[in-house]
């Protein structure tokens, strides 16, 4: 991805989101800009050292791990005088595979949080219902789910 130097001041490069895939590996040039949201809602800049990769848990891994792994909300803000480049490797479930919480991750202190679903169906749902809580609405077990 290329993020051009904003004409003036700072600009939004990428709006806040969680990744919809399983796991993302990011690398970037020396222009920082990624911010992550803590669980209490505060935004923090992530400083990625040169030559390092950043690994981001997506919605699929969150669901598959029965919520043990946190799909962090993140965004990109651009400022300064140099274009920002980033490159992402987005891993996805195999075509047709069901994302299903393994029984080993469910017990009385960890009730099941997600119904089995396919990645393609989830992405299709998200495309027509772009919202922060898409995973909970689509696959969540409980009162907030839609289907």
Binding-site ranges for ligand AKG (CB under 6 A): 1, 14, 19, 26, 28, 34, 74, 76, 86, 88
d(CA 118, CA 120): 6
B/e letters for 86-95, b = 16+ CB within 10 Å, e = fewer, are: beeeeeebee
In the block, residue with structure tokens 């839609």: 146
Nearer to ligand AKG, 76 or 99 (CB): 76
The residue sitting closest to ligand AKG, measured at its beta carbon, is 86
Record the tokens describing residue 136, joined without a space: 């909970």
Cβ proximity of 72 and 16 under 8 Å: no
Q: Is 19 in the site for Fe ion (CB under 5 A)?
A: yes
Nearer to ligand AKG, 49 or 96 (CB): 49
Record the tokens describing residue 139, joined without a space: 């696959």
Nearer to Fe ion, 42 or 55 (CB): 55
Which of the listed partners (ligand AKG, Fe ion, none) does 5 bind, with a CB threshold of 5 to 8 Å by partner kind? none
CB of 57 to ligand AKG, least distance (A): 12
């Amino acid at each position: 991805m290329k993020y051009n130097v904003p004409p003036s001041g700072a600009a939004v490069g990428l709006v806040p989101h969680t990744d919809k895939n399983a796991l993302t590996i990011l690398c970037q040039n020396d222009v920082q800009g990624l911010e992550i949201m803590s669980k209490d809602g505060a935004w923090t800049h992530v400083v990625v050292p040169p030559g390092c990769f950043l690994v981001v848990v997506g919605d699929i891994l969150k669901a598959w791990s029965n919520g043990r792994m946190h799909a962090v909300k993140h965004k990109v803000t651009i400022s300064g005088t140099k274009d920002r480049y980033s490159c992402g490797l987005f891993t996805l479930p195999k075509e047709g595979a069901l994302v299903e919480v393994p029984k080993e991750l469910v017990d009385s202190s960890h009730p099941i949080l997600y119904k089995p679903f396919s990645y393609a169906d989830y992405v299709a749902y998200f495309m027509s219902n772009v919202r922060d809580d898409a995973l909970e609405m689509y696959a969540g077990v409980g009162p907030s789910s839609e289907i």
